[in-house]
């Protein structure tokens, strides 16, 4: 099993749709070339300490982003047959690592982990997601 991060269009570019610059967050403008996108991806990877994960960079036509409806972030699980077996909802509210973990366990033939009701990946804030 391999975990990959696909760096897509910058969600928090200063000149983008959702500018944000929290403490320690890199302040970047939307890259205009693939070289600039690579540099921003490297800066973000370092700031978020994503070094254990392999990062791929989407092209400037945003091919991967469009194909997977990935903006601003999204979790997917691709099976050994190359088909998507889990597609999380769009982030940030749909970014639910526990739901991905459950899908991975199913894919591996393992039982789901027991969770308390407030830890259910299909619930938000203790309420049923609708």
The whole-chain average pLDDT of the chain stands at 82
8 Å CB contact between 19 and 11? no
Spatial separation of the C-alpha atoms in residues 27 and 20, rounded to whole Å: 8
- Residue 7: exposure state from Cβ atoms within 10 A (0-12, 13-18, ≥19): buried
Nearest residue to 57 (alpha-carbon basis) of 10, 1, 14, 20: 10
* Residue 41, helix vs strand vs coil: helix
What is the mean pLDDT of the segment spanning 68-77?
90
Of 30 and 66, which is predicted with more confidence? 66
Spatial separation of the C-alpha atoms in residues 10 and 108, rounded to whole Å: 33
Of the listed ranges 38-42, 43-47, 53-57, 123-127, the least confidently predicted one is 123-127
Does residue 126 have a pLDDT over 70? no
Q: Among the ranges 5-14, 16-25, 66-75, which has the highest mean pLDDT value?
A: 66-75
Spatial separation of the C-alpha atoms in residues 113 and 98, rounded to whole Å: 9
Question: Nearest 5°: CA angle at 25, between 19 and 27?
Answer: 55
Boundaries of every domain in the chain: 1-69, 73-130
* Residue 54, helix vs strand vs coil: strand
pLDDT level of residue 12 (50, 70, 90 thresholds) = low
Element (H, E) at 130: none
Does the predicted TM-score (pTM) go above 0.85? no
8 Å CB contact between 109 and 1? no
Of the listed ranges 21-30, 49-58, 68-77, 94-103, the least confidently predicted one is 21-30
Q: Among the ranges 17-26, 93-102, 117-126, which has the highest mean pLDDT value?
A: 93-102
What CATH number is given for 1-69 in this structure? Answer: 3.40.30.10
């Amino acid at each position: 099993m391999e975990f990959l991060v696909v760096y897509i269009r910058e969600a928090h570019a200063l000149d983008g749709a959702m500018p944000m610059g929290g403490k320690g967050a890199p302040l970047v403008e939307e890259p205009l070339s693939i070289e600039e996108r690579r540099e921003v991806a490297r800066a973000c990877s370092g700031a978020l300490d994503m070094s254990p994960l392999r990062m791929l960079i989407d092209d400037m036509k945003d091919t991967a982003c469009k194909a997977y409806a990935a903006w601003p972030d999204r979790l997917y699980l691709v099976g050994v047959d190359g088909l998507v077996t889990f597609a999380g909802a769009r982030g940030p509210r749909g970014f639910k690592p526990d739901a991905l973990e459950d899908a991975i366990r199913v894919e591996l033939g393992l039982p789901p982990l027991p969770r308390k009701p407030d830890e259910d990946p299909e619930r938000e804030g203790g309420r049923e997601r609708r």
